[in-house]
Chains A and B, each alone.
Chain A
Amino acid sequence: MRELFPAKQVMGFVFSLILTIAALLVYYLDMSFTAGMTLLLITAFIQAGLQLIVFMHAGETKDKGSIYTNIYFGVFVALVTILGTLLCMIWGYI
């Protein structure tokens, strides 16, 4: 039974629960918008990285380089889309 619960994945799960609870602080504590968003950005991106490395085994084969390049490219395009949209639809008019 024990070998079905590898320590690495159990620790990964516990850590992801801790990150979720850390993110919840923005709801339960009275924080400024900047502090709250900073905390959310940090916890969300660590959480995503954790899933990718611990659970999705992104780095375990010779295709590691291609996989990471592709993910970075996807994230880059998504961030440019989001920040660019905000720039021309919201931030440019404040």
Chain B
Amino acid sequence: MKIDNSLPLEYSTEENSLKVLGFWIFLGAEIMLFGTLFATYFTLVDRTAGGPDSAELFEIAPVLIETFLLLASSFTIGLGIHAMRLGRKKAMMAFFGITLLLGLGFLSVEIYDFVMYVHEGATIQTSAFTSILFTTLGTHGAHVTLGFFWGLFIILQVKKRGITPQNANKAFIFSLYWHFLDVVWIFIFSFIYLKGMM
């Protein structure tokens, strides 16, 4: 295995570099996936079939909490990768831990929000609008849930084996995924929530 010391640890072998590039290609496909969900959402947003519309359903407080939690978690995972590049194992694990706690906070607020919607009579079966709303938000939420467990296993591996080229590569790819979820949320926040309440 050829190790190039001029690059950060996560790129230090050719295989590692290729894995990072491969993950970017996966993220390109994810952009298209969320593109189709947004296309469907914009088409169906006014088809409320007598159920609540977006202005009645959405509330600003939970959405703001979710946004700031996710933005902060994107920042802390960035700091985690920075600490990893400095070789600071403890700091890295702490930042990854904070990131996952913020992610868990995000999920709790989102689940609370979903329960509120159902109480207000907006279930996934109510109208075309609520179906695509729950599908789009749920797809993002499922990604965050997966990311939570992925991150948990990264922390365990770093704890057990330290910051090796392999672990650094896994952690970096996980950070790409987490930042990407934040990018998707920005679009949900802007074009589903804020547009709906405007």
Contacts and interface: CB of A to CB of B under 8 A. Distances in A.
Interface of A (DSSP majority class):
helix
B16 to A, nearest CB: 11
Contacts of B183: 47-48, 51-52
Contacts of B68: 17, 20
A86 B43 CA distance: 6
Given A4-B83, A51-B179, A78-B34, A67 B24 contact: yes
Nearest to A25: B194
Contact of A85 (B40, B72, B187): B40
Interface stretch (B73-81, B141-149, B158-166): B73-81
Interface in B1-24: 7, 11, 17, 20-21, 24
A26 B40 CA distance: 23
Nearest to B7: A61
Given A16-B71, A20-B71, A61-B7, A70 B198 contact: no
Nearest to B46: A90
Interface in A3-17: 3-6, 9, 12-13, 16-17
Interface residues of A, number: 49
Nearest to A67: B24
Contacts of B191: 40, 44
Contacts of B21: 63, 66-67
B190 A44 contact: yes
A27 B197 contact: yes
A51 B78 CA distance: 10
Contact of A9 (B35, B40, B82): B82
Residue with the highest number of chain A CB atoms closer than 10 Å, among B25, B34, B35, B175: B35
B42 interface: yes
Contacts of B88: 4
17 contacts: A3-B86, A6-B79, A13-B78, A16-B71, A17-B71, A26-B195, A36-B194, A36-B198, A37-B195, A47-B183, A55-B179, A70-B24, A74-B28, A75-B31, A77-B35, A78-B34, A82-B39
Interface of B: 7, 11, 17, 20-21, 24-25, 27-32, 34-36, 38-40, 42-43, 60, 64, 67-68, 71-72, 74-75, 77-79, 82-83, 86, 88, 91, 175-176, 179-180, 182-183, 186-187, 189-191, 194-195, 197-198
- Can you list the 8 inter-chain pairs with the closest CB atoms, starting with the nearest? A78-B35, A74-B28, A74-B31, A85-B39, A13-B75, A44-B190, A82-B39, A55-B78
Given A26-B198, A66-B24, A70-B28, 7 more contacts: A6-B79, A9-B82, A16-B71, A56-B180, A81-B32, A81-B35, A86-B42
